[in-house]
A and B are shown apart, each in its own frame.
Chain A
Amino acid sequence: MSAADRKSQTLSLNQPVPAMSGRMDSLGFSKSVQRVIFIALLILFTVIFFTPFLWLITASLKTRAEVFNGEWIPDPIAWENYINVWRVTDVPIWLRNSLVVGFLASITVTFSSAFIAFGFSYFRFPGRDKLFGLVLATMMLPGVVTMIPVYLIWQRLGATNTLTPLWASNLFGSAIYIFMIRQFYLSLPRELFEAARVDGANYFEMWRHVALPLTRTALIVVFVFEFKASWTDLIKPLIYLRDSLLFTMPRGLKAVLDQFGQGGEMQWEIVLAASVIVTVPMIIIFFVGQRYFMDGIATSGIKG
């Protein structure tokens, strides 16, 4: 398959993929019955996946005495839960810290991992697969036992009680994303790169102008995954940050939880309202990012 063929393909990619279509036909169902089943499944799954979040939102709007009463509509609606969270905590500062860390962590890990993955996929040299095995091996040791040694390294670098340890190691790539992007690179036809080489591109340009644009989807997926991972991480902020003005959202949320759960007397409505505040920005990021999961390839096909 030539590069030109590939390009014409990617252009047509934003049509629906007929992955399972025709199955029902062959079983004798009419198109409309098939459509009804499809919509029913879609609604069923949407309800299953949406309900818990809906519960979280409604519960966060209830008064303390009613949080777990099983009703779907809060009565009365306790907007003051949100006002209380805002008033008693540094949520705006925590949000800002989380956004800064999340953005830095995601952007660095996306590009460094893509760069490194290119080394593990395009080039063929002895020892490559053994080195790649070493990359995978770093995922296999439970982090609990390396946590303190890693902390000591950051301490030596003078970076504890700063936001740096929360993202800076991403400059060197992350095993899981190197692996993931490598899989995407391996699915690109080599002819594409040979064509670029004939045009006089060096290796960096081959990565930059061929590999990167063609796998934009993967990059956005990595960005979103890492943003989510960073956004929800509690352990690193917990051990690296002491100053509450440096807290990220989950770390701040833990402080709220401990504060309003003293002696077991949980103020669930506050905890749940804070949970919603943590979740919503992530949903927005995902909603913005998800458009590219499917459309990205087609666009990159035009540009690339």
Chain B
Amino acid sequence: MFGSSKSSLRRTLALSALVLLTLVAPVVMAQDAEQEPNTEMTGSLSIMGFGLGDEIATTRVGEFERLYPNVELNFTEGGLDEQQFLTAVASGTPPDLVSLPRAELSTYAVRGALTPLTECIANEGIDMSQYRDVAVSEVTVDGEVYGIPEFFNNIMLIINTAALEEAGLTVDDVNTADWDSIAALNETLTRMDGDTLSRIGFDPKLPEFLPLWVAANGGQMLSDDGRTAMLNSPEVVEALTFAASLHDVAGGRAPFSAFRDTWDFFGSGNMIANDQLGVFPMEQWYMNVLADVSPDAPLAFKPFTDREGNPISFATGSAWAIPRGAANPEAACAFIKTVTSPEAWIAAAEERARLRAESGTLNTGTYTANRLADEVIFGEIVGPTGSDVFDTGVETILSLQENAFAIPANPAGAQFRQAWIDAVNRVLNGEQTVEEALNQAQQEAQAALDEAWAQSES
């Protein structure tokens, strides 16, 4: 009872804020709304899925608090948990704002758990063209935008140059456009001590990077409209067949992953520093780990390419969204706009640069889904890292961003993913052939998609 009276109070507050807003909006708009604190916006904002962990978070939130001093922020700390979020939604007390992985957003959006941001974008004058297209496409369902992209993470090749050198090769010999040469490179760089694997030549990172191999092969796992699974198309079959075959030199999947599990992934004795891996495609955050724990390891970075030699990447990241039934959508919208604006990102990046300089650690940058922000961050703030190797890493990531792709928005995200991941595992475990596994995955994925779309449209 107490809860409901509180929320009706909140609703009244929100309503009066709305009335106030419509009255003063033209005036505020006329002035420079970006710089002057807005004291009319009031009420509180409950926020899920976001933690005030580092300066990138706190600086941007600080920016909002400066601009909207009368809005009270309540963070439910920690990453978004499905049980927590869905219980809140089911009980009619959703948070006002939620930060969630873009890949999951459409699952909730299609089922009506999120509010379309059409009005928010119009009222706050949010310029959608500043965000990267592929990220925007992930949060767009049936032509309506449900989320504003935040981070933008990519995949690139991380290369152990010591292993290359030992084989008399250079970074130029790592050519992902030519799959025969990948296989040859894998064979050359794989090292066995007797029966025991002691270096993996080329780790294809299956099952999780299958989408990357498929895209490199010119294929697609799901149609652009998110309705038709294409998991047993020839491009997918060929991509999986090839990527899976990279385990063979090592004696198959079992010894391969047993060895991989022995790596000290986060330590100074990681698999690059310890010469346990030749080449692998990896998410960009791992560059930060390496910069932190083994900055002097024999490293090189390079884009992963399709078979025509164009750089490609599989992009991931989070987005902000407003749950349906949120008590204070206007303030939520203002919050989203503020924390994803170039100004906030730039302030955050400056703060990070200052802190890194202070502690004498490498600053490998912050990669946002906001193109305007990134231009300033990498044009003016993040200078040379002080290490040529990591400078090329930063450049590599920047060069990839325009060529990144994502799995199209669809309402069965988790089930779709489960279908192809299980298929890859069945192949690697030797339980099914590539065709059998992908045919089964195709059926499962299509059934899940059909059901989810049908449900959302009824």
B69 within 8 A of A: no
Interface residues of A, Cβ cutoff 8 Å to B: 64-70, 147-148, 151-152, 155, 158, 160-161, 235, 238-239, 242-244, 247, 251, 254-255, 257-260, 262-266, 268
Interface residues of B, Cβ cutoff 8 Å to A: 1-3, 46, 48, 51-54, 74-79, 81, 83-84, 86-88, 90-91, 93, 95, 151, 153, 264-269, 283, 285-286, 288-289, 292-294
Docked Cα-Cα span, A67 to B294, in Å, equals 14
Task: Establish whether residues A151 and B91, one from each chain, have CB atoms under 8 Å apart when the complex forms.
Answer: yes
Task: Establish whether residues B53 and A262, one from each chain, have CB atoms under 8 Å apart when the complex forms.
Answer: yes
Task: Establish whether residues B79 and A258, one from each chain, have CB atoms under 8 Å apart when the complex forms.
Answer: yes
Task: Establish whether residues A68 and B283, one from each chain, have CB atoms under 8 Å apart when the complex forms.
Answer: no
Beyond A155-B3, A235-B83, is A264–B283 a contact (Cβ under 8 Å)? yes
Docked Cα-Cα span, A259 to B56, in Å, equals 12
Docked Cα-Cα span, A242 to B294, in Å, equals 39
Task: Establish whether residues B285 and A264, one from each chain, have CB atoms under 8 Å apart when the complex forms.
Answer: yes
Beyond A158-B3, A238-B81, A263-B283, is A244–B87 a contact (Cβ under 8 Å)? no
Task: Establish whether residues A69 and B264, one from each chain, have CB atoms under 8 Å apart when the complex forms.
Answer: yes
Task: Establish whether residues B285 and A265, one from each chain, have CB atoms under 8 Å apart when the complex forms.
Answer: yes
| B-chain residues with CB within 8 Å of residue A235 when the two chains form the complex | 83
A148: contacting residue among B54, B74, B78, B91, CB under 8 A: B91
Beyond A64-B266, A158-B1, is A151–B87 a contact (Cβ under 8 Å)? yes
Task: Establish whether residues B2 and A158, one from each chain, have CB atoms under 8 Å apart when the complex forms.
Answer: yes
Closest to A269 in B: B266
| B-chain residues with CB within 8 Å of residue A151 when the two chains form the complex | 87, 90-91
Q: List 7 A-B contacts (CB under 8 A).
A: A68-B265, A148-B91, A242-B48, A244-B77, A255-B51, A258-B79, A259-B53
Beyond A158-B1, A158-B3, A260-B53, is A65–B87 a contact (Cβ under 8 Å)? no
Closest to B268 in A: A65
A266: contacting residue among B81, B83, B151, B266, CB under 8 A: B266
Closest to A89 in B: B77
| B-chain residues with CB within 8 Å of residue A152 when the two chains form the complex | 90-91
Task: Establish whether residues B90 and A148, one from each chain, have CB atoms under 8 Å apart when the complex forms.
Answer: yes
B266: contacting residue among A242, A259, A262, A268, CB under 8 A: A268
| A-chain residues with CB within 8 Å of residue B293 when the two chains form the complex | 64-65
Task: Establish whether residues A69 and B78, one from each chain, have CB atoms under 8 Å apart when the complex forms.
Answer: no
Task: Establish whether residues B91 and A242, one from each chain, have CB atoms under 8 Å apart when the complex forms.
Answer: no
Task: Establish whether residues A65 and B294, one from each chain, have CB atoms under 8 Å apart when the complex forms.
Answer: yes
